[in-house]
Amino acid sequence: MLFAFVLYTVVAGAEASPTKPNTALHAIAQELIDAGYREKQALTERLTTIDDPKTLEFMQVMVEGDLYYRKDDRVVVIKGDNAVTTFFSGEEITLESKRDIKKISVNNKLRVLLRGGIARLQIFSDDPEMRMQAAVNLLKSAEDLDQATLDEALSNEEKPDVRDVLSLVKGIRLLEADTEKERLEGVSYLSGSLYPDVRGALANYRRAAEADSRTEEIQAADEALKKIESLLSLNSVAENLYFGLALGAVLLLAAIGLAITFGVMGVINMAHGEMIMLGAYTTYVVQQLMPDHIGMSLAVAVPAAFLVSGFVGVLIERGVIRHLYGRPLETLLATFGISLVLQQAVRSVFSPLNREVATPDWMAGTFMINPALELTFNRLYIIIFSLLVLALLALILKRTLFGLQMRAVTMNRPMASSMGIRTGWVDALTFGLGSGIAGIAGVALSQLTNVGPNMGQAYIIDSFMVVVFGGVGNLWGTLVGAMSLGVVNKLLEPWAGAVVAKILVLIFIILFIQKRPRGLFALKGRAADMG
């Protein structure tokens, strides 16, 4: 009946004042300033019937106790944490003294009324998202809405997902019902829902049932809770799997470049981590250069980082590594020296402290699968990005002239040379390519971890593990190696803890190498003898 009344006034209000929407609300606001609590109750009930886009906000501000008015001119204002703004015009005002404004106070009775009003307004809103929000809020406080309105909303609702949540609200209300049959019906509504509030309500209900030793209901509640638990554990497995894939993607990004320098060329590049670091610092510099376009900065940083790290890579190859081919252990020492120099260079130029790299807005946010499972976008982007980089690299290796020459030099250097390939330049460019990709990895990693002079160190060991585990000289091996290590690591984490999980993975790799000294996907035949 109340609903009918609301609906009526909503329609009537809409017809009555299309041009001056604020007047009714404004009038009530003015009356509220002088009213006592009892009058405020009547006014609040009138408030819920006003069709005005601002009514909802008005009630929300009021129920929070942030609604004030200025004593001088009776302008209604909102007192926020930092500033005071006028309610109707939204202008910020400065106060000379705190006493200039006075609170429009509310008591508990009014709050209940207001919350009910808010819930009603939201639940019949035209915006499905707002209805959803209202329904989810109702899970916390199902008593805000009376039974009749709830049923009305339930039967009017067109969106199935909103209806599902509303039926959960109904279920929670039914748990408090007088008859056992109704209460059990409520439990049946709630079984298998993933909302934490539902779980809380069921747990409370079970306690109440236990107190009165209502065995049948205890059993029903237990079953419903068990179903929820099993769904939740399934969810957490899915979540860990996702985290694992994201970690795998990070490992993959860090290791792809190494798969080229180490895997294809056989150069143990201990400065690989510093190539990643250079990429991350390039991101930082790009963002410093274009502070107003953070959203675009990553798109600029990716090629920039590729060029910077790739250029440094070519320099290293021409300056040092080419003198050391065939002496892998000495390459290791020389490149380690280079890594120290690069670290110190960055420390001298940018200071030893971590640099702040901003995350563009489009990277933030989450992606909700169900109430208990939210996946963050940045991880999703990293996964996609790493696969893109891998695909691009595979394309370069298999489909371009440079890739062909690169493979030819790897397979048989003298033969390639006698066919007119400038092996020296191919070496330099290959090393540059590997380093450049490490730089791209640095752009991605700057979004996930701290950017500092030592960041490369954190990835070098992991990268080598991935490449060795996957099988040297094999991009698929790198992909499978990275993803499986990432997933295994994250799946172990819940019961072993992060550090122990990592130790277990390292031990696993050590043992695995004993069994298959050439990794998951070993090269066969003559190529296997190199390295």
Q: How many residues bind another protein (CB under 8 A)?
A: 45
Compute the least distance from the CB of residue 246 to another protein, in Å: 21
Question: What does DSSP say about strands 84-86 and 76-79: parallel, antiparallel, or unpaired?
Answer: antiparallel
**Binding another protein by CB under 8 A: which of 134, 135, 465, 475?**
465
**Binding another protein by CB under 8 A: which of 457, 488, 491, 522?**
457
1 binds another protein (CB under 8 A): no
* CA Rg value for the chain: 32
Tokens (6 digits) for 120: 């009603």
499 binds another protein (CB under 8 A): yes
Q: Which stretch binds another protein (CB under 8 A): 82-90, 94-102, 157-165, 335-343?
A: 335-343
Compute the least distance from the CB of residue 40 to another protein, in Å: 57
Q: Which helix (H) or strand (E) holds 69?
A: strand 67-70
d(CA 225, CA 228): 5
d(CA 489, CA 508): 11
Residue type, 206: R
Q: Which helix (H) or strand (E) holds 370?
A: strand 366-370
The answer to whether 229 touches 193, Cβ cutoff 8 Å, is no
Compute the least distance from the CB of residue 61 to another protein, in Å: 49
Phi and psi at residue 18, to the nearest 5°: -75, -30
Which residue's CB is nearer to another protein, number 117 or number 519?
519
**Binding another protein by CB under 8 A: which of 4, 237, 289, 461?**
461
d(CA 65, CA 391): 56
Residue with the two structure tokens 């550090």: 499
Contact string 289-328 vs another protein (x = CB under 8 A): -------------------------------x--xx-xxx
Residue with the two structure tokens 């705190």: 98
Which residue's CB is nearer to another protein, number 298 or number 468?
468
**Binding another protein by CB under 8 A: which of 35, 332, 380, 488?**
332
The answer to whether 448 touches 378, Cβ cutoff 8 Å, is yes
411 binds another protein (CB under 8 A): no
Which residue's CB is nearer to another protein, number 20 or number 515?
515
**Binding another protein by CB under 8 A: which of 78, 165, 444, 468?**
468
The answer to whether 277 touches 342, Cβ cutoff 8 Å, is yes
Compute the least distance from the CB of residue 273 to another protein, in Å: 11
Which residue's CB is nearer to another protein, number 1 or number 499?
499
Which residue's CB is nearer to another protein, number 256 or number 468?
468
Q: Give the full edge-to-edge strand order of the sheet including 92-93.
A: 92-93, 84-86, 76-79, 67-70, 101-103
503 binds another protein (CB under 8 A): yes
Phi and psi at residue 81, to the nearest 5°: -70, -40
Residue with the two structure tokens 């200025």: 70
**Binding another protein by CB under 8 A: which of 134, 260, 265, 334?**
334
DSSP state of 322: G
196 binds another protein (CB under 8 A): no
349 binds another protein (CB under 8 A): no
Which residue's CB is nearer to another protein, number 83 or number 340?
340
Footprint of another protein on 156-185 (CB under 8 A): none
283 binds another protein (CB under 8 A): no
Compute the least distance from the CB of residue 244 to another protein, in Å: 19
Compute the least distance from the CB of residue 478 to another protein, in Å: 15
The answer to whether 402 touches 396, Cβ cutoff 8 Å, is yes
Compute the least distance from the CB of residue 465 to another protein, in Å: 6
Q: Return the closest-CA partner of residue 306 out of 396, 246, 376, 384.
A: 396
Q: Determine whether 512 is exposed, middle or buried from the number of CB atoms within 10 Å of its CB (0-12, 13-18, 19+).
A: middle
530, 324, 329, 266 alpha-carbon torsion, rounded to 10°:
-30
Site residues for another protein per CB under 8 A: 268, 270, 320, 323-324, 326-334, 336-345, 347-348, 457, 461, 464-465, 468, 499-500, 502-503, 506-507, 509-511, 513-515, 517, 531
